[in-house]
Amino acid sequence: MSNAYISPYLNFDGNAREAMEFYRTVFGGKLELMRYDSLDMGAELPPEQGEKIMHGSLESESGPTLMGADVPPEAQYRRGSAVTVALTGDDAATLRGWWENLSKDGTVTVPMERQPWGDEFGACTDTFGIDWMVNISTP
C-alpha cells in the first residue's frame, strides 16, 4: 500500500531562509535548505540569486512538513495566496504554542477563543504573509 500526503509549499520574496528558520523555532524538527548556487543548473545566476533558497523542507516530529523557496526572478511573487495552512488536533499545549509563535509578530484575524462548534479556534497572517488557522479540538 502506498502513502499519499499533502505538504504546504510556501513561496517567499527573498526571505525564505529567515522564514523557514522561524518555522523551525515554532514547530521544531529537521530543516534542510538548498541554495540556488548549490546546484549546477547550466546557467549563470545573478549574484543576488545564488544565495537564495531554491528548496527548503522542514520535517517536524509532531507537526506539519513544510516546504518553501524564494520565488525565482522570472516568476512573479504574490504576498499571500489562496492557500491557508490549517493546524488541527487535540494537543492543546502544542497547538497554543504554535499559535502564539505564528501570531506574535503577525496579524490576528480571528482571536484564539472558544467557538460555537465547541473548539478553540484562531486565524492569523504571520510576519511572512502566510495565512494560518489553528483549531484545538474539544474531546
The three cell numbers locating residue 12:
517567499
- The greatest distance separating any two alpha carbons of the chain, rounded to the nearest whole angstrom, comes to 56
The domains of the chain are located at 9-70, 84-136
Q: How far apart are CA 106 and CA 125, in angstroms?
A: 6
How far is CA 20 from each of CA 52, 70, 89, rounded to the nearest angstrom?
Answer: 12, 11, 22
Nearest to 64 by CA among 130, 139, 138: 130
Given the candidates 3.40.630.30, 3.10.180.10, 1.10.275.10, 3.65.10.10, the CATH classification of the domain at 9-70 is 3.10.180.10
The pLDDT mean for the chain works out to 84
- pTM, 2 dp: 0.75
Q: What residues contact 100, with CB distance under 8 A and at least 6 apart? A: none
**pLDDT, tens digit, for every residue of 40-62?**
555 566 666 668 898 999 998 87
Fold category of 84-136 in CATH: 2,3-Dihydroxybiphenyl 1,2-Dioxygenase; domain 1 (3.10.180)
Residue 65 pLDDT grade (very low, low, confident, very high; cuts 50, 70, 90)? confident
